[in-house]
Amino acid sequence: MRRTALITGGSRGLGRALALGLAREGWNVVIDARDAEALERARAEVDAAGPGDVVALPGDVTDPVHVAALVGAAASEGRLELLVNNAGTLGPSPLPSLAALRADDLERTLRTNLVAPLRLVQAALPHLRSCGGAVLNVTSDAAVEGYPGWGAYGASKAALEQLSRVLAAEEPTIRVWWVDPGDMRTQMHQDAFPGEDISDRPDPATRVPALLRLVEARPPSGRYTVDELAPAATATGEAAR
């Protein structure tokens, strides 16, 4: 039975790159995104990359019905061994100071970056427990550093890291990793720096070898960066915000 990975935010950036990497390693892959057309393009590319099945479900991770459908689809594909909480939102752009941050924007950021991953974990846990699977929560150094303007995003990722720590303590039969992938050339990063040239940032694909190594080596639950996991496989750059 093929291993199955569920990756949220799989139409572009790190989610798409990781889906491609896992497909090449023979995994079944379930991906989602809000943009149905972009998701279908990613599905076709991932499907061509490996022998496993690829399922793409358009939707919003903040929708509990969509979450249930995602986990159901992944479980029906085979052994659900990996949940990757990659979907996320930067929050308002340009990035506001805390003095100007609207409470509604903070709430929306928390719903996507914190509450949605929790719902996915809760739905996937029975399957992950049965096979000693793993949860990979994508985090950021904005969770541990104080960058002006990054209050909403940083707070959501700090909370996700604490949720991950508690989950690791409560679920010793699975692995729980929260991973800072470092700076990347993604749309979210461009939105954080509108009008700036971010072409010097590494492509998300350069982060995938380290993540594949993590999944295969299954180190203890904890916080990791891609540079710690595979320094030679990643491009040099500032930590991601």
What are the residue numbers of the active site?
Answer: 153
Among 58, 111, 113, which Cα is nearest to 88's?
Answer: 113
CA 217 distance to own-chain centroid? 19
Q: Contact 44/25 with Cβ under 8 angstroms? A: no
Measured CA to CA, the distance from residue 175 to residue 74 in angstroms comes to 18
Alpha carbons 79 and 28: distance in angstroms, whole number: 9
Determine the Cα–Cα distance for residues 18 and 1; give it in Å rounded to an integer.
Answer: 21
Cα–Cα distance, 209 to 17 (Å, whole number): 10
Q: How far is CA 204 from CA 55, 87, 197, 223, in A?
A: 21, 14, 16, 19
Peptide bond preceding 94 in cis form (omega within 30 of 0): yes
Integer Cα distance of 119 and 81 in angstroms: 17
Q: Where are the alpha helices (DSSP H) in 6-115?
A: 13-24, 36-49, 64-77, 103-110
